[in-house]
Amino acid sequence: MTSASRRPLKVGFFISAMSGGMRDGALRWPDIRGMAERAEEVGFDSFWIPDHLLFKNPGEEPHGPWECWSFLCALAASTNRMELGSLVACTAFRNPALMAKMADTLDEISGGRLILGLGAGWHEPEFTAYGYPFDGRVGRFEEAVRLIRTLLRDGHVDFTGTYYQARDCELRPRGPRPQGPPILIGSLATGPRMLRLVAEHADLWNGWLMFGRSHPDTVPPLRDAVDAACVTAGRDPATLGRTVGVAVDQRPGRKRNPPTQSQPEPLTGSPEEIAEALRAFARGGISHVQLIPSLQGIEGVEALAPVLELLDRG
């Protein structure tokens, strides 16, 4: 986004196809680097990487993405302007004190462009395959987030919990931002414990609409739930940034899957129609969207470039 831009919200690109057909096909590092470089050229504000280790779904061959943090570090050195984000890094996969150290280091490599998206994880087979405990996920996540946030904000923590401990732990040296990168936590209205943690610890909330209806009319009830959680926690709701992950399908109608109860409802239509939907998200209080395109590779980036141009015109 340039200084002359009239774009009403930040627009990010989420990459889902990282290896072995995570959703739509396998991509190697040169492909992903090329996508990120082109995304920066056409004006995306951010670039997002998922954090999974392995998928084992009934009736499917096992498949999975490349490791999130390794790719984010490589992208930090390959791009110059875009923010880079984990959507979201599973706190169960890495020691939380080390995760804070990793985040500050990646923020240094990127020159202060990291958004630290954190989550509890959900796919039990990958926990089992890699030897991570699946029980008490939200309790473990709560301790991890508290530890990570304290270390990043204060540079020091002395913590002993049920699942984690970090005794007289310090971050040295510090990255480019004195309080570390912003923390993003995702939760829908169905997760009251996670909403409480968003209100208590996050700088940004994320609503992941990918698996449901990716349209602006889904925002008001989610926004109300987030506002209520902030009020309960004694926080001004205006201090929490609002973001959503939105599926976009620009394929011709005959090539799209018809919506069903179990099938997502992505944004569709012309660049003008998609741009207007994103303006509606902004009017609904959303400050940043992560677009999840059906078209993969460079094609997916190029297909969304006209939408960014339209948004920049106001």
What is the predicted pLDDT for the residue at 65?
84
| 192 pLDDT tier (thresholds 50, 70, 90) | confident
What is the predicted pLDDT for the residue at 251?
78
> Which residue from 103, 84, 90, 117 is spatially nearest to 12, judged by alpha carbons?
84
Report the SS3 class of residue 68: helix
| Interval 288-313 mean pLDDT | 94
What is the predicted pLDDT for the residue at 190?
74
Is 307 in contact with 289 (CB distance < 8 Å)? no
Is 208 in contact with 242 (CB distance < 8 Å)? no
pLDDT higher for 173 or 263? 173
Structure tokens at 291: 């677009």
| Interval 168-177 mean pLDDT | 97
- The dihedrals phi and psi of 192, each to the nearest 5 degrees, come to -60, -35
Identify the weakest region by mean pLDDT among 1-5, 66-70, 159-163, 271-275: 1-5
Inform me whether the pLDDT recorded for 257 exceeds 80.
Answer: no
pLDDT digit string, tens, across residues 79-123: 999 999 999 999 999 999 999 999 999 999 999 999 999 999 999
Inform me whether the pLDDT recorded for 256 exceeds 80.
Answer: no
- The dihedrals phi and psi of 171, each to the nearest 5 degrees, come to -100, 115
Element (H, E) at 247: strand 241-248
Position 266, amino acid: P
What is the predicted pLDDT for the residue at 160?
97
Structure tokens at 17: 């196809």
* Domains of the chain, earliest start first: 11-203+225-244 (3.20.20.30)
Element (H, E) at 271: helix 271-283
Task: Label the pairing between strands 165-170 and 183-186.
Answer: unpaired
End-to-end Cα distance, the chain: 12
Structure tokens at 16: 């889902």
Inform me whether the pLDDT recorded for 183 exceeds 70.
Answer: yes
pLDDT digit string, tens, across residues 56-80: 989 888 888 889 999 999 999 999 9
CA-to-CA dists, residue 135 to 90, 141, 307, angstroms: 14, 11, 43
pLDDT digit string, tens, across residues 11-50: 999 997 555 444 545 688 998 999 999 999 999 999 999 9
What is the predicted pLDDT for the residue at 66?
87
Is 173 in contact with 106 (CB distance < 8 Å)? no
What is the predicted pLDDT for the residue at 25?
56
Structure tokens at 89: 């890094």
Structure tokens at 246: 């939105």
Rounded-to-integer distance, Cα 309 and Cα 311, Å: 5
Percent of the chain with pLDDT over 90: 80
What is the predicted pLDDT for the residue at 39?
98
**Mean pLDDT, the chain, integer:** 92
> Which residue from 43, 50, 84 is spatially nearest to 67, judged by alpha carbons?
50
pLDDT digit string, tens, across residues 218-255: 999 999 999 999 999 999 999 999 999 999 998 776 55
- Angle, to 10 degrees, between the axis of helix 68-78 and the axis of helix 96-110? 20
